[in-house]
Amino acid sequence: MPIVFDLEDLRKLHGCQTYLETGLWDPRDDVSSKLALKCNFEKVYCVEIRDDWVELGFVVFKDDIYKNRYKLIKDDSVNLSRHINNNRDFEKKTLFFLDAHVDNPDIHNFKYRCPLFFELDAIGQLSRKDNVICVDDVRLLKDMYPWGETTFGDVNYIESIKDKIRTINPNYKFSYLNCHIENDVLVAYVD
């Protein structure tokens, strides 16, 4: 979904050079990839599972793909580690915007409806332990089973996400940014 906060201000504040989002949305809309490309990130990545949005994305972002500024990856974000481990772009400080979830009955090629914990595991495998991690849709993560994800049981997703991030680096601090709804994006950062 589109980002309504100032992404460039967030990038500058934390000195991020790479941007990666999980979950593209319809690339004909004002998706966050478009905003990230307008910022001063050196490289922008997106991992998307939906075939139709990936096909459209290759058309919409063709110039930035050609210039090697944008990389669109067709995959389930559960497999994020295979795309970021041993990738030099992720040796640089990265802003991760985690927004992958299955909310469409036409998507069947997923492993988990809410892959956040696997995405965080992948980020935790990187040598950098000070990346900025944004988690979208906090309002939905307050539900017992967000997007119908029952794999992890009856857990408090927000606190479990924070705990998982603290295993990457116990010095992470947390704040919230407004998106379409007030305080709907959790931001984890290290000063």
pLDDT digits (tens, 9 = 90+) for 91-126: 999 999 999 887 766 676 677 777 999 999 999 999
Over range 162-184, report the average pLDDT. Answer: 95
2 falls within a domain: no
For 177, phi then psi, to 5°, come to -120, 150
Confidence (pLDDT) at 2: 66
pTM of the model: 0.93
Domain membership flag for residue 22: yes
Average pLDDT over residues 11-23: 97
- The 10 Å Cβ neighbour count of residue 85 is 12
Give the domain range for residue 13.
7-189
d(CA 65, CA 75): 17
% of the chain exceeding 90 in pLDDT: 73
Alpha helices by DSSP H, the chain = 7-14, 32-38, 51-60, 62-66, 81-84, 116-124, 138-141, 157-168
Tell whether 1 is covered by a domain: no
Q: What is the CATH number of the domain that holds 184?
A: 3.40.50.150
Classify the C-alpha dihedral 86-164-10-142 as positive or negative.
positive
Cα-based torsion angle of the residue sequence 172, 178, 183, 186 in order, rounded to the nearest 10 degrees: -30
Residues 79 and 111 sit within 8 Å (Cβ to Cβ): no
Closest CA to 163 of 135, 126, 184: 135
The partner residues of 19 in beta bridges, in order of sequence, read: 44, 95
pLDDT, position 69: 98
Q: How many domains does the chain contain in total?
A: 1
